[in-house]
């Protein structure tokens, strides 16, 4: 059964936790003890409904404040598919948590209160998903029960959000607008009878149709380990183990080893001792090559290089600063790029996003916690100049503070 990773985003009281709780409840994914606890808590508070937001707020501080603080991963299944929801906070001070939650997600659900429409936080949530090139956006216009299920309220919000999309177009992005009431369960799992004017799909129906694997023409394997058994049976075996990304690999495929730029062809693909002619995306395999080229841990075996490919020691990137210590130019870090680690120096802070994410600010001296900015880095050794647009796997990195070894930033190569 395949697995779809989803991120959520929403402002305070937009009903994000209730929506997730509704998904769990209507798919019968809540364990009995959790459901009993929700019923007792709802009765204790005098509610005549189930407070499904309690299904997600795991931290004491979250329950006390009624907000989401940390990223929590929530699991549920239907007969056809399993889902992992990264429940991320929506406050500006938790921007780094939002990026962490959305960074590995295939789809995002952005909640908007039907009474308020698009607000400043909505722009932030959209921009983060735009930055991360999230392929599928579901705009859940929530609390439709509080606007008497009026189509005009939904249409107004949709129009406002489409203006954001027009300002930041992205190829291969699909966007769905769904009027919902998470509290009443309208259009979340089951189609609503209260909004006959909406003829689209429910949120769960949309999620169920999203492809979990999208192949590109460019397959690659980042070497996690070089396997040399040195046994009688595998005396001359020299395999390169890793997970296939981008597109499937087949024996006979011509590959280029990065960063050495040596070329060869795939001679064999092995999994659990058996040999295969091809392997799909997502497979963890070891491959052998037809030539004795040097390949080390961290190298990349790639089938097709981009037309403008080059190796470089200087990169420009958009980063989210995650450290409480401000970033200043000329500071040294360790850069983790796949399985490779190297030293680097921040040469320039080129610009940063304003707090409302509507404009770029130049003349920037330092970056504070949660700032999103464009910087220029000088690396100690070259890496492939593959942008995040070209490959989500090869176009990203993290910066590590050398003394504390804390993750200081996540970066996306431009």
Distances, alpha carbon 73 to alpha carbons 5, 13, 202, 239, 326, in Å:
10, 20, 22, 35, 29
Yes or no: say if 107 and 134 are a contact pair by the CB < 8 Å rule: yes
Structure tokens at 386: 């593959």
Per-residue pLDDT of 31-53, as tens digits, reads 888 888 888 888 888 888 888 88
Structure tokens at 73: 């991963």
Spell 36-47 as b/e; 16+ CB within 10 A means b.
eebeeebeeeee
Cα 313-220-263 angle, rounded to 5 deg: 75
Query: Given this model, what pLDDT does residue 215 score?
Result: 66
Mean pLDDT, residues 101-111 = 88
Based on the number of CB atoms within 10 Å of its own CB, is 248 exposed (0-12), middle (13-18) or buried (19 or more)? middle
Distances, alpha carbon 63 to alpha carbons 51, 55, 155, 164, in Å:
12, 10, 33, 33
Band the pLDDT of 60: cuts 50, 70, 90. very low
Helical axes 151-167 vs 120-131, angle rounded to 10°: 50
Is the pLDDT score of 59 beyond 50? no
Q: What is the DSSP letter of 326?
A: P
Query: Given this model, what pLDDT does residue 70 score?
Result: 55
Give the best-scoring range by mean pLDDT among 62-66, 104-108, 316-320, 352-356: 316-320
Q: What is the DSSP letter of 232?
A: S
Band the pLDDT of 5: cuts 50, 70, 90. very high
First-residue to last-residue Cα distance in the chain: 35
Yes or no: say if 395 and 372 are a contact pair by the CB < 8 Å rule: no
CA–CA separation, 95 vs 85, rounded Å? 17
Mean pLDDT, residues 158-164 = 95
Yes or no: say if 262 and 268 are a contact pair by the CB < 8 Å rule: no
Is the pLDDT score of 318 beyond 60? yes
Least confidently predicted of 1-5, 56-60, 401-405: 56-60
Query: Given this model, what pLDDT does residue 357 score?
Result: 76
Query: Given this model, what pLDDT does residue 334 score?
Result: 97
The reply to whether omega before 259 is within 30° of 0 (cis) is: yes
Per-residue pLDDT of 252-305, as tens digits, reads 999 999 888 899 999 999 998 899 999 998 899 999 999 989 999 888 999 988
Is the pLDDT score of 68 beyond 70? no
Q: What is the DSSP string of 259-275?
A: TTTEEEEEEEEEETTEE
């Amino acid at each position: 059964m395949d697995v779809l990773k989803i991120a959520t985003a929403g402002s305070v009281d937009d009903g994000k936790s209730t929506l997730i709780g509704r998904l769990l409840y209507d798919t019968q994914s809540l364990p009995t003890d959790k459901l009993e606890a929700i019923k007792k808590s709802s009765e204790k508070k005098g509610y005549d409904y189930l407070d499904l937001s309690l299904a997600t707020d795991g931290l004491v501080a979250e329950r006390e404040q009624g907000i989401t603080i940390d990223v929590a991963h929530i699991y549920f299944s239907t007969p056809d598919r399993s889902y992992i929801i990264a429940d991320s906070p929506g406050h500006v001070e938790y921007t780094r948590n939002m990026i962490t939650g959305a960074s590995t997600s295939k789809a995002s659900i952005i909640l908007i209160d039907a009474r308020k429409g698009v607000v400043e936080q909505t722009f932030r949530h959209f921009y983060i998903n735009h930055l991360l090139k999230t392929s599928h956006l579901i705009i859940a216009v929530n609390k439709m029960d509080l606007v008497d299920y009026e189509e005009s309220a939904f249409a107004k919000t949709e129009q406002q959000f489409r203006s954001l999309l027009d300002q930041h177009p992205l190829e291969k992005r699909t966007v769905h607008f769904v009027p919902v009431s998470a509290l009443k369960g309208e259009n979340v799992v089951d189609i609503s009878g209260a909004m006959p004017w909406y003829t689209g799909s429910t949120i769960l129906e949309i999620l169920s149709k999203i492809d979990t694997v999208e192949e590109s023409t460019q397959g690659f394997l980042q070497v996690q380990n070089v396997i040399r058994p040195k046994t009688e049976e595998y005396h001359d075996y020299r395999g390169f183990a890793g997970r296939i990304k981008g597109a499937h690999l087949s024996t006979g495929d011509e590959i280029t080893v990065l960063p050495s730029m040596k070329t060869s062809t795939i001679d064999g693909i092995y999994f659990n001792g058996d040999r295969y002619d091809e392997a799909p995306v997502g497979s963890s395999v070891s491959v052998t090559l037809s030539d004795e080229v040097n390949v080390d841990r961290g190298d990349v075996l790639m089938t097709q290089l981009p037309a403008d490919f080059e190796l470089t020691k200087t990169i420009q990137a958009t980063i989210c600063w995650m450290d409480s210590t401000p970033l200043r130019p000329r500071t040294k870090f360790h850069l983790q790029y796949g399985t490779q680690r190297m030293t680097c120096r921040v040469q320039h802070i080129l610009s940063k996003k304003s707090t409302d994410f509507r404009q770029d600010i130049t003349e920037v001296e330092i970056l504070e916690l949660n700032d999103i900015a464009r910087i220029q880095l000088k690396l100690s050794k070259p890496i492939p100049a593959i942008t995040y647009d070209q490959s989500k796997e090869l176009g990203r990195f993290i910066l590590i503070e050398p003394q504390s070894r804390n993750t200081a930033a996540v970066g996306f190569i431009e």
